Amino acid sequence: MKICQISDTHFGSESDFNRKLLYSLLDRINNSGFSLLIHSGDVTQSGRKDEYIEARRFFKKIKIPHIVIPGNHDARNGGLKLFEDHIGPVNGYKEIDDGIIIYVNSAIADSDEGRVGMVKFDLIKDILQKYTDAGLKVVLIHHHIIPIPMAGRERNVLSNAGDILDLLIKGDVDLVLSGHRHYPNVHKVENTLFVNAGTTSSVKTRYGDVNSYNVIEIGDREQSFTTVRVDGRKSERKYSRKRNRVFYDFGSKIFRVAHLSNTFISNDRSFLRKHFKNAIMTINRLEPDLIVHCGGIVREGITQDYELAVRLFSTVDGPILFTPAGRDLNYLGYHLFPKYMDSFDQKYKTEDVVFQGVSSSQYDSPVGIVGDTQRKALFKKLHESSEGIKAIFLHHNLIPIPHSREKGLLEDSGDLLREVVDAEIDLVLTGTSSHPYAAKVGKTVIVNANSTSSVYQRSVMGNSFNLIDIYEDALAVYEVNSLWGSRRLLGIWNRNG
């Protein structure tokens, strides 16, 4: 199958919309052997009737089957009703040969934010269950699910992006197509390809880029993704469609990590001291080579909480690294963290592994950012390290986490995620949202930790920490209950594919 993806056309006035450019692409769309055209939202600039009428005229000139979904701009001024009148339904699905395409509206009236409510969530789930054996599963949604690089401050992500991500991965979806951020990008998360389109004809391009569209070719064994820019430049990425098989020979074990977060140590009742002490006893019994704490060490950045934390962590056997969360830095925390916990960007290195911390938190703020200067310094340190396992740890998450309203992303998560994946970093550990989750993006396994010892946690197992075993050929992640020490598998991934 060969798909042409256009997006964010923004039909409207000349100040918003390059009409001549868009119409010049019609011949390419109609005569390049495409099986299907997909428009991934923001058809219009303001959701006005005259804009929809012109868009309808344009789509009538397209001679191949096409599916069009609305975006946040289309939902302005009551525009979703006009979309249905002039373009078509905003939710639904379409059978294609041995496949299924599901499309849902993520736009909220008069808002730039996105949301897939329970009804549409269940719609996607029910259709995926109905078409379990389909050879190809495609989902269309305007708002991006995975953070986009070169798109400025990360915002307007779907409020329930983590739940959508988990649903699509478990539903064995092959391809997810989105728009919204006006910059093309692709990530493979587990076996699902998340493709974002740039803007095809809006004057608002990013970082000096030009207008573009995507060409996606899907074969039996391979998918290729090509961004075609209107100045003639092309960039292509290819991904295997081969499913990873279950494997049994992991090779010898190289390293074991205990990964915890959000202990929230204090004398407050919200700190579950017995859970913490039992977790440390279990960790000591499991004999990890390293313990990594991804922020939320204390409940507040005050002396008595830090002094209590030092006493409690003194029972840990073996090396331990810390990176701060926003609450670790509030009040006097900016001064107390380096006094009691050592430097902000901590590091552990042997001949086989390097774990490099990066402080993403700001004092008196839940917002996370790494920034260009810090990011360059981070990768310089990693590139200077010898060959072997390379890991990064920070507080804020790089991908959305299920069962939480998406708010833990870094402001520049798209840029950091793109660089992490391109550098083929083995492991990233994070600690926001108090929910255990793990997924493989490209060749990088990203793991988030639950709260180890606070009443504020989101795991059905209760408070927990993660145990990560790194083998020659595999990486296994377990969630371990803080109180009882029971564990469940979060995932096993091949390290060489």
Span 278-318, pLDDT tens digits? 999 999 999 999 999 999 999 999 999 999 999 999 999 99
Residues forming beta bridges with residue 114, ordered by sequence position: 107, 158
C-alpha to C-alpha distance for 139 and 165, rounded to whole angstroms? 11
Calculate mean pLDDT across residues 342-370: 91
Residue 391 CA to residue 385 CA, distance in Å, equals 11
Give the pLDDT score at 156.
Answer: 61
Confidence label for 32 from pLDDT (cuts 50, 70 and 90): very high
**pLDDT band for position 384 (50/70/90)?**
confident
Q: Residue 408: what pLDDT?
A: 53
- DSSP letter for 246, please: P
Token pair for residue 209? 């880029």
Q: What is the pLDDT of residue 242?
A: 64
Does the pLDDT of residue 241 top 90, yes or no?
A: no
pTM: 0.93
Q: What is the DSSP letter of 335?
A: H
Residue 496 pLDDT: 73
Residue matched to tokens 């507080």? 395
**If you count them, how many residues does the chain have?**
497
Q: Which residues pair with 177 in a beta bridge?
A: 140, 195
Helix (H) / strand (E) containing 162: helix 161-170
Give every CB contact of residue 82 below 8 A, 6+ residues apart in sequence.
47, 48, 49, 52
What is the 8-class DSSP label of residue 231?
Answer: T
Query: What integer pLDDT is reported at residue 220 of this predicted model?
Result: 87
Which comes out higher in pLDDT, residue 381 or 53? 53
pLDDT of the residue at 407: 61
pLDDT digit string, tens, across residues 385-423:
777 899 999 999 999 998 877 665 788 999 999 999 999
- Residue 21 to residues 37, 140, 199, 470: CA-CA distances in angstroms? 17, 24, 12, 51
Q: Residue range 56-84: average pLDDT?
A: 96
pLDDT digit string (tens) for 445-470? 999 999 999 999 999 999 999 999 99
| Dihedral angle, C-alpha 183, 188, 192, 195, nearest 10 ° | 10
pLDDT of res. 420: 96
Confidence band (pLDDT; 50, 70, 90) for 155?
A: low
Kindly state the average pLDDT of the residues 190-216.
95
pLDDT for position 180: 95
Per-residue tokens: 53:
């009428």
Q: Are strands 192-196 and 437-441 parallel, antiparallel or unpaired?
A: unpaired
Cβ-based neighbour number of residue 497 at 10 Å:
11
Q: Which structural domains are found in the chain, ordered by start?
A: 2-240 (3.60.21.10), 253-494 (3.60.21.10)
The answer to which of 118-127, 238-247, 355-364 has the lowest mean pLDDT is 238-247
- Mean pLDDT, rounded, for 96-121: 93
d(CA 311, CA 411): 34
Share of the chain above pLDDT 70, in %: 97
Q: pLDDT at position 393, please? A: 98
